[in-house]
Structure 1
Amino acid sequence: MVQLLAIDKNENIINKKEELYKQVWNKSIKERLIRHTTNEGFRGYIIITAGEELLGFAYGYTSLPGQYYHELLSKEVSQKQYETWLKDCFEVVELVVHPLYRNKGYGKKLIHELLKGVVNKTAVLTTQVNNTVARHLYKQMGWIVVKEPFIPSEQEASYVIMGKVLN
């Protein structure tokens, strides 16, 4: 049996998210996650087993001018796309599911819960162009491609910007 719980600033849970993120992406998220919890509209969820094993997590916040990723995305889209997608937007920052627990509906549950009750008109996210599993999940959930490719920096792979109308 698994539980879906709201993210809090519990150090033990933050450390578990850090471990899972490193296992999946081979880099740290702890500092960024702690910083993001202070952003306007922050919300997030975890899925844990009865034994408190972390299976996955997702979080996001209101995307606002002045924030790093909001500014990066706004440079990549037209004025019309900005008005449509970024003007009143919730940004899905992370969705991470333990590799052994993928394709069991946990990612879908996390995203659904994350967006439930969000008052923004739209939501946006980015994922790697070649991440076909994630793209398929998002497409199944009604997300559409806003821009492809999107290259955040010279050191990174190509991404796709996806959007979903919420209200």
Structure 2
Amino acid sequence: MAALPDVVVEPVDLSARIDEALAVQALAFGLTADEIEVRRHIVHRHLLTPGARALGALTATGRLVGFVYGMPNDRRHWWSTIVEPYLRRTGDEEWLTDSFVITELHVHPAFQARGIGRTLITTITDAADEPRSILSAIDIESPARGLYRRLGYEDLARRVLFPSAPSPYAVMGARLPLLRDN
């Protein structure tokens, strides 16, 4: 699949590489050991969802330094039930239908700012059958939010509160295919 100078992006069995993926996520996202254990079960459950797929960013030695996974959105899933009232308030509730949701996207801090995140998200969404993509990101101006905007994602709802999350999130949506060259 997509190649970068020292990293290749390709499909991975994320269930088999869950420890590596959660280690990357912990570093990139600042997770505690308890949060990692909670996420382990969530990731396994998500990957059983019909249409779920995962890509990894691998070094020449096979080290996982980034990953993305997502699936066609299902309005009955927990994430959708949380964001739906926020999207209804902004008039964007239809984004929960016929969208591919980016569930997680993380790149090891030592490998950030090399285009790996961009390659992961564009590669996974290029294979989506849905006409649009949605995701949630911490509601601050961050490199990740900047990347999403350059790819065509726009804020659909802000200050979205997830139970047990210490910070509010923004829900963002983009028409597919994602923008390039910006």
1:22 aligns with: 26
Q: Is the 8 A contact 2:135 2:171 kept in 1?
A: yes
SS, match of residue 67 in structure 2: strand
2:3 aligns with: none
The answer as to 2:168 corresponding to 1:158 is yes
* Runs of 4+ residues deviating >3 angstroms: none
Unmatched tracts of structure 1, length 5 or more: none
Amino acid across the alignment from 1:7:
V
CA deviations on 1:33-74 (whole Å, 9 max, x unpaired) are 111111121011000101112110011111112110011111
Give the TM-score, by structure 1 length. 0.91
Which residue, out of 12, 24, 36, partners 1:7? 12
Same amino acid, percent of matched pairs: 23
CA deviations on 1:79-132 (whole Å, 9 max, x unpaired) are 74112x111111101110000111100000000111012111221111111251
Q: Is the 8 A contact 1:86 1:122 kept in 2?
A: no
Amino acid across the alignment from 2:98:
D
What number of residue pairs does the alignment pair up?
Answer: 165
2:106 aligns with: 96
Q: Is the 8 A contact 1:56 1:95 kept in 2?
A: yes
Give the TM-score, by structure 2 length. 0.84
Unmatched tracts of structure 2, length 5 or more: 1-5, 178-182
The alignment's C-alpha RMSD in Å is 1.7
Which residue, out of 98, 120, 135, partners 1:125? 135
Amino acid across the alignment from 1:150:
V
1:115 aligns with: 125
